[in-house]
Amino acid sequence: MTKLHPETLALHAGWRADPGTGSVAPPIFQTTSYQFRDTEHAANLFALAELGNIYTRLGNPTTDILEQRIAALEGGAAALAVSSGQAASTFAVQNLARAGDNIVSGTDLYGGTYNLFANTLRDMGIDVRFVDPADPQAFINASDERTRAWYVETLPNPKLIVCPMAEIAALGRPLGIPLIVDNTAAPLIARPFDHGAAIVVYSTTKYIGGHGTSIGGMIVDGGNFDWEAVPERQPNMNTPDSSYHGAVWAQAAKPLGPIAYVLRARTVLLRDLGSCLSPFNAFQIIQGVETLPLRMPRHCANAEAVAQFLSGRKDVSRVIHPSLQTGEQRARADMVLTGGNGGLLGFELAGGLCAAFDRAGAY
């Protein structure tokens, strides 16, 4: 099968046309509930013998189009849309870690994620150990027998330094530890699954949505991690789940595909915690996805132009952007950011904080 270009996937993955009406645009299925064909159909859905719609808290046809589209763009097996990027980060960890477990995370994180990890997850009994993401060995050193996952960001703001993602992922896989990557700042320009990531998370509120109208999040299952390779490392995937008829997720998902991780996230966490994306917001975010392949190159080009302009000013002491990095940082950016250097940048004024306040007051 010919590999489709991102521009085509962004427009057509998960939906081509309505078979009844011929409508090309995905509709908004603004419904809570669904009609089962018969009792056997209902039983199959609840038993996970087949996939389908049960209740919009668990899944919705409009949301499903968005999930399929993002999974296709990312090169993953399946995806789960949730109500926000914060919900995506939370579910990504909770899907593997229980009270008493831990994860190891890079220090370079979005502030909301850092607070979630440093405080709220710890209050829930999940310890988060922070290490320098530039040092892959630090993830090994901080891990023990109850470490369930490692977590990094592709392009963390404000440092904008790409971590050695492939090296980190390669160290974790023999131990049964998956790498979770927040790719919010780099959709299309970076492909974490190509560098060994097992799970990718997004705040779709940002570049993917693009219009600033709808908050949402996404978890993408790469379908590339063997959850049974070190079964004692991943008890959530390899022991009977009392919340779902004793299902062992690594086995229960096999007839449906390599989607054990995202299936558990949907069937347990989304069902019980309820952080579902509304069909209307799913529709709005789909509109953003359709223009993502056009917008991301422009975001990157604009940021690089601004970075070059600022780097030539005497009143600017430092410009933070991957295009200006050198040495090892530049080499990692070239390896991971294959579609551009991103739309985020930072800069420091030569006069420091006082100069920044003076400039702000001038406008």
Structure tokens at 351: 């006069």
Query: Looking at the predicted structure, is the pLDDT value of residue 30 above 50?
Result: yes
> In which band, very low, low, confident or very high, does the pLDDT at 354 lie, cut at 50, 70 and 90?
confident
**Identity of the amino acid at 147:** T
Structure tokens at 166: 């492939």
**What is the reported pLDDT for 182?**
98
**What is the reported pLDDT for 351?**
82
What are the chain's domains? 6-280 (3.40.640.10), 295-361 (3.90.1150.10)
**What is the reported pLDDT for 194?**
98
> In which band, very low, low, confident or very high, does the pLDDT at 1 lie, cut at 50, 70 and 90?
very low
> In which band, very low, low, confident or very high, does the pLDDT at 361 lie, cut at 50, 70 and 90?
low
| Residue predicted with more confidence, 358 or 75 | 75
CA distance 216 to 312: 38
**What is the reported pLDDT for 353?**
83
> In which band, very low, low, confident or very high, does the pLDDT at 287 lie, cut at 50, 70 and 90?
very high
Average pLDDT of the residues in 270-278: 97
pLDDT in tens, 121-152: 999 999 999 999 999 999 999 999 999 999 99
Beta bridge partners of 106: 131
Query: Looking at the predicted structure, is the pLDDT value of residue 5 above 50?
Result: yes
Q: Which of 97, 102, 27 is nearest to 66 (CA)?
A: 27
CA distance 268 to 259: 14
Tell me the residue length of the chain: 363
Q: DSSP string covering 151-184, please? A: EEESS-TTT-----HHHHHHHHGGGT-PEEEE-T
The string over 64-91, giving b where at least 16 C-beta atoms fall within 10 Å of a residue's C-beta and e elsewhere, is bbbbbbbbbbbbbbbbbbbbbbbbbbbb
CA distance 276 to 264: 15
Average pLDDT of the residues in 196-217: 97
Query: Looking at the predicted structure, is the pLDDT value of residue 213 above 80?
Result: yes
> In which band, very low, low, confident or very high, does the pLDDT at 329 lie, cut at 50, 70 and 90?
very high
Average pLDDT of the residues in 77-88: 98
Average pLDDT of the residues in 163-170: 97
Q: For strand 147-153 and strand 179-182, is the pairing parallel, antiparallel, or unpaired? A: parallel
Average pLDDT of the residues in 108-116: 96
Contacts 24+ apart (CB under 8 A), 291-294: 291/10, 291/210, 292/6, 292/10, 292/73, 292/187, 292/188, 292/207, 292/208, 292/210, 293/5, 293/6, 293/7, 293/10, 293/188, 294/7
**What is the reported pLDDT for 258?**
97
pLDDT in tens, 299-327: 999 999 999 999 999 999 999 999 999 99
Average pLDDT of the residues in 221-244: 97
Q: Which of 58, 51, 5 is nearest to 32 (CA)?
A: 58
Average pLDDT of the residues in 254-265: 96
SS3 93: helix
CA distance 227 to 177: 9
Average pLDDT of the residues in 247-271: 96
